[in-house]
Amino acid sequence: MTITVAGVKKEYADGTTVAQLIEAEKVETPEYVTVTINDDFVESGTFETTTVKDGDSVEFLYFMGGGQ
């Protein structure tokens, strides 16, 4: 299947989970990443069971604090 990851079209096996995608994409600090599929937020507790589908668009978001 073809999905878009961070704006780049990529091929992945059918049934790939969000957790597998995080590992395959070598996401830094996966415990702090927020994931969206087609602009919908995915609950971190469901990464192991949520699968991506052909044509999906996946983004990895990092929220940072700080400032003055």
CATH number at residue 43: 3.10.20.30
Which pLDDT belongs to residue 58? 98
Domain-located, residue 10: yes
pLDDT at 67 over 70: no
Q: What is the pLDDT of residues 15-61, one digit of tens each?
A: 999 999 999 999 988 989 999 999 999 999 999 999 999 999 999 99
Q: Which of 37, 30, 23, 17 is nearest to 62 (CA)?
A: 30
Task: Look up the pTM and report it.
Answer: 0.90
Domain-located, residue 21: yes
Q: Which domain holds residue 34?
A: 2-61
Number of domains in the chain: 1
Which pLDDT belongs to residue 19? 97
Q: Which of 15, 14, 22, 11 is nearest to 47 (CA)?
A: 22
